[in-house]
Every structure is written in C-alpha cells, then in structure tokens.
A and B are shown apart, each in its own frame.
Chain A
C-alpha cells in the first residue's frame, strides 16, 4: 500500500502552495483548511510543552524524598500539565482535525461560518497565551486542573508578596478558549446539517463526521457549565461574592458539581473524535468496510447521552446518600456498554481483513488494547467502596492516562500518519514512524501500567514527593525511566513531522486507498476543495467509483486511486 509514484500534476507540497506563502494569508485566513492547520500546529506546540512538564514531574518523582522541585513548583507543574494537555493540546488538536476534515469528508466547500471559525481559533490562541502568562505572575494555579474550591480563593495564594493573579489569568484564559470551543462546535453542527451535497445522506456520512457531530453537541452543552463555574469563581475573587466561602455558608461542593458536570462530558469530548479517526483508519487498512456502521453511530449517541449522567462518580469520596451512589454507579457501569460495542466493532472490522501494518494501523491496534485496559480500570471505580480506597491515588493517574494518552494520543498519532499526506502532500517517514510507535508503546505501558500498583500501595497523587516505603522507590524509578523512553518517542514524532515536510516522499491524491471524499481531491486540497464531487451512493463513494470504472471497462485506474475526478 505504499505510493509507487506521484501521478497527479496538481499534487505538490504544501510549501509550494502559492496562497499559503505570505504570513498575511495565515493571519487573515477564513479557510477551514488553513485554520485547521493553525489549530493543529498550535496544539502541537502546547503538546510539546505539556510533555516537557510531564518529564519534569517524572524526574521529580524518580526517587523518594527528592527535593529537586519545591512543593509549590511541583503543584504548579502538575496543574499546568493537566490544563495544557486537556484544554490547549488535545482538545484543539481534535478540533483542528474536525475543522479540517469535516467539510472535506462531506464534500463541502467550507464550514458554515468561516469568519466565526477564524474567531474561534484566535480566541483559543489568546486564551492559551493568557493561561501561560500566569507563570509570569509567579503564582500560577496550583490546585490541579480541576481547581477545587477553596484552593482557588484569594486566601490560598502562595506568593506572600503578590496577590495571586495567576488564577485570574487561568480563569479568563479558559473562558476565552471555552467560548471559542462552543463557536466551533456550533459551526461543525451547522455545517454537517446544512452543507451536505444532496446525495450525502445522514446514513452515508463518514463515522468521523458522525462522532465529530456528537462531540460538538457535547461541547455545546458541557462547556457552559464550566463557564458558569468560572464566572462564580471570578465573582468570588473580585467582587467578594460568597459562592465558595464556607465561613459565610458557601459550599465548595457547588464548584465540584458544576465542574464535573462539565468535566465528565469533557472526557468524552477528548475521546469521541479519536474514536472517529480510528473508525476511518481501521477499515482502510483492513480493506474491509466498517463493521456495524449503524451500531457505531447509535453507540456514540448513547455515550453522548450517558456522559451527562455520570459526573458524580468523580466525587464519591465527598459523601452522598445511597440513592445517589446507586444511580451514578449504575450509569458508570452502563456507559461501558456502548464503549464495548465500539471495541468489538473495530475488532470485527479487522477480523478476516487483509491488514497492512502501516504505522497508522499499528497505532490503532495499540489503541484498542490500551483503551480497553483504561476502560476496565475505569469500571472499577463504579464500585463505590473501591473508589473510596483508590481515589486520589496513582491508580487514578494510571487509569486516565490509559484512556487519554494510550487512547486519545494514540488515535491522534494514527490520524497524523493517515492524513499528513492529505494535508501537506508529503508522506511521513514510515521507518521513523515505526520506531516512534514502538518507543511510545513500550514507554507508555512501562510508565503507566506499574503506576496502578503504586496507587494500590497507597501512593497519593498530587504530592511532590513520597517517603521511602516498600516498593514505592522501585515502582517510581521504573516508571520514570520508561517515561523518558516515551518522551523520546514524542521527540521522534516532532522530528518526523518537520523533516517530512521538507524531505518526505511526495504523496499522491490517495496514498492509502481510502474511501471517503477527502481522498477524491488533490493533496494538499485546492482552496475550493473539490473540482467535482463523485456520486455518493454509499458510505464509500471512492470505492464505488473504482468498482463502476472497472465494470464499465474504462481505462484501468492507477493503483489505489490517483484519479482525477
């Protein structure tokens, strides 16, 4: 399935596209492809920072009673690691893929509101800069990404000499990125509803588009809860309101409920587009249609619906009455069902297919295994007494890194290896990619699998160091060493992205033999996306085209597409 030759005259590298050469064209762009690339590039820079912060944390934890970082610094580092990864790296990266590929996959010229699209991107960038600006105040947020009250109140500022304004930058930055996210979500939904060609029925849109749409619904309904919580916090800090002030009868649990009402759908916001990427990559590299298209869609809707009914499982330790425990424990178990359906569908898609183990596919396979482990350790928390025992321990850290790093980041990697040729017109280096894949698999599992045991041994998370108790030193040493392997994997990925842009093999229009519409145009796509859209009679329009051309005895196609439609 390699690309033998670059046949299309139109296909060059993205570096040669005339419209993209001036800086002004990027700054003033309302084109969904340029904005998508800007989203992805910015989020990659934040990802690099987030990975660097993680390396700092693992270095601090490499041995017991380690005093390399002060507790204050460590608190700020893990808080910014979480905030960066969730709000500034992973979410916008997925948003970038959504913005870039949703119009292409449904055969549209652009999103419905191109200018709002640009505004959303700039809000995200400025919000990200504001959040990082908080470092300059010397007192950035130090309460974890979930920022539990009252640790965010004015009284808890750590810097004695400055009134801690870092938290305010954090609040405003998140409000800006949140507003941008809601705009993009509305944009995606309206695009999918409004701009489909007549033949592109809802039962024919690619699964990535389906999952992006459900994701957009979650964004529209979940982020305002965070915004409301942030606004209340801001009122508390600046107008002396009393929302989270316990001495005046306020209740910090209000923050927790509002935050997690956003926070749990957010978890699915971070994974659903990843599911979408996987659902595109696996069929193409297995040369089989996706198994259970309708069930995949229905399962996504079910996940979206249930994700609003599980938030209190983050707060079991706060004490609730038993009815609440039962309801949230049940819904937590229940949400594993649609997720399980997806896992089985992906496996069934691969079953009996002629699988080619390119890097993109390798990441998909590792994703399925790692995400299943992460899912299983998540269901464990539905058992309330177990949750009491393990919450705020490293077991939780291991669990959510299995879903977000071993899950989402691996899907994103698959997405990069799959779509990089389409975006840039160059292939990523496969050899380098496979080395990166193995480094990441070994590094990731080595780092995080063993942390389950650290949690079971009672090691609490969010503490800058730990006493020299039995096993803890060994576990953390192993974990830190593997973390460096993982970091090396990330580094290779960034190197690959950059050198492939200049030295990568030129890609033809459809290097992987994909079926969805984005492969029907040139690589990189022209400003107007499509010269002509092929007829859409199923979820695999390009496959239909290939078949009909074969049957009609037309001139044989160049291997795996490359046809000018």
Chain B
C-alpha cells in the first residue's frame, strides 16, 4: 500500500504542478478562484483532517483487539469523510451556478481536475472503509491481516493530499 501511495503521490504532484504553473504564469486567464468560499471549505477541511485522527483511533483499537470501540471510530471516520464529500458537492454546485466550469478558464480546468480527482480518491477511500466496516461488523468474518493498516494508510494519504491542495488552491491568492 505504501508503494501504491507513492505512485499516487506522483500522480497528484503532476496535477498540482499543472495548477501552480497556470496559477502563476497566466493570472489574467485564471482568476475565477475569486469565487471560492474559503471559510466554508475550511470547515469541511477540518472534518477531513479530523477523520484521519479518528481513523488512527480506530486503527489502535483494532490492533489491541477492542473491536466495538474500533467500529465506532470507523463509523465516525466514514461520517466525517462523507460530510467532506457532500461539502465538495455543494461547493461544485454553487461554483457552477456562478458559471465557473471546467471549460471557463484555466482556473476552472485545473481546479476541477485536481479537486475532482481528490474527491474521487475520497470516494474510493469511503468505499474501502465501508467494506472494512461491513466485514468487521459480521461476526466470524476476519479481514485479511493488514487490511486495516492498508486502508488506514490510504486514508491518511488522501488527507495529506488535501492538506497540500487546501493551502495551494484556497489560501494562495494572487493580487
């Protein structure tokens, strides 16, 4: 999973570089970022980051064999991730209603590609978490060893990517 995450990191690196390159070199063509609602997204960002923390709590409890509290923390993680995803969806809706689309300008292009792929990864992460939850919930079924660890590595990675995307996209405002 670590190797896979390394591979994914390069993928996001290229997309982030694309964003940064167009953000700095052609500011005239990419100024739609002024439509972003930074405080609102900051709230959802906090949700996602805390979901990493709750995943860690779940991971520890799985390791020490305390299944019930582990499942609770897992559920909290899923809920926080889902809130983040819902927040992203409503953000997209309001941007599109302001006519900020992928083909409007270079900001739209890079913004939707970058955050869209991140959202896709959050979604895949949620599917993995839900699968884990479902398997662990059923008595008598034990997940393959390392499954919890792998999913949690993936989830932390998705978070870490957002911790780079958020400052780069939302906080870095050019005059």
Residues of A in contact with B (beta carbons under 8 Å apart): 182, 185-186, 189-190, 220-225, 227-229, 231-232, 235, 239-243, 248-251, 254, 258, 261
Contact = CB atoms under 8 A, between A and B. Distances in A.
22 contacts: A189-B3, A220-B6, A224-B8, A224-B9, A224-B14, A225-B10, A228-B14, A228-B15, A232-B15, A232-B18, A232-B113, A240-B102, A240-B103, A241-B109, A241-B112, A248-B29, A249-B26, A249-B105, A249-B106, A250-B22, A258-B18, A261-B14
Nearest to A253: B21
A250 B14 contact: no
B7 A241 contact: no
Nearest to B4: A186
B105 A248 contact: yes
Q: Size class of B's contact patch?
A: 20 to 34
Nearest to B14: A228
Nearest to A222: B10
Contacts of B9: 224
B50 to A, nearest CB: 28
Contact of B102 (A185, A224, A239, A258): A239
B172 interface: no
B35 interface: no
The 4 closest A-B pairs by CB, nearest first: A249-B29, A240-B103, A228-B14, A224-B11
B105 A221 contact: no
Contacts of A227: 11
Nearest to A244: B109
Contacts of B7: 182, 186, 220-221, 223-224
A556 B144 CA distance: 48
A189 B18 CA distance: 30
B109 A254 contact: no
B123 interface: no
Contacts of B18: 228, 232, 243, 254, 258
Nearest to B103: A240
B53 interface: no
B172 to A, nearest CB: 18
A241 B3 contact: no
Interface string B100-144: 001101101110110001000000000000000000000000000
Contacts of A240: 102-103
A399 B102 CA distance: 41
Contacts of B109: 235, 241-243, 250
A227, A241, A258: most-surrounded residue (chain B CB, <10 A): A241
A248 B15 contact: no
Nearest to A241: B109
What is the predominant secondary structure among interface residues of chain A facing chain B?
Answer: helix
B14 A248 contact: no
A239 B10 CA distance: 23
B9 to A, nearest CB: 8
Interface of B: 3-4, 6-12, 14-15, 18, 21-22, 25-26, 28-30, 102-103, 105-106, 108-110, 112-113, 117
Contact of B3 (A186, A222, A228, A258): A186
Contacts of A190: 3
Given A241-B112, A251-B22, 5 more contacts: A190-B3, A232-B113, A235-B113, A239-B103, A241-B108
B30 A249 contact: yes
Contacts of A261: 14
Which of B11, B109, B113 has most A Cβ within 10 Å?
B109
A190 B150 CA distance: 14
Given A241-B109, A250-B106, A251-B21, A225 B3 contact: no
Contacts of B102: 235, 239-241
Contacts of A250: 22, 106, 109
Contacts of A185: 3
A231 B18 CA distance: 12
Of B9, B14, B26, chain A has the most CB atoms within 10 Å of the CB of B14
A240 B25 CA distance: 21
A121 B116 CA distance: 29
**Centre residue among A220, A222, A231, A249 by max chain B CB count within 10 A:** A249
A182 B110 CA distance: 25
A185 B6 CA distance: 12
Given A186-B3, A224-B8, A232-B113, A242 B105 contact: yes
B11 A225 contact: yes
Nearest to A242: B109
A148 to B, nearest CB: 16
A261 B18 CA distance: 13
A220 B14 CA distance: 14
B10 A224 contact: yes
Of the listed residues B3, B6, B21, B108, the one surrounded by the most CB atoms of chain A closer than 10 A to its CB is B3
A190 B106 CA distance: 40
Nearest to A223: B7
A254 B22 CA distance: 10
A117 to B, nearest CB: 15
A160 to B, nearest CB: 24
B8 A241 contact: no
Contact of B106 (A223, A225, A231, A242): A242
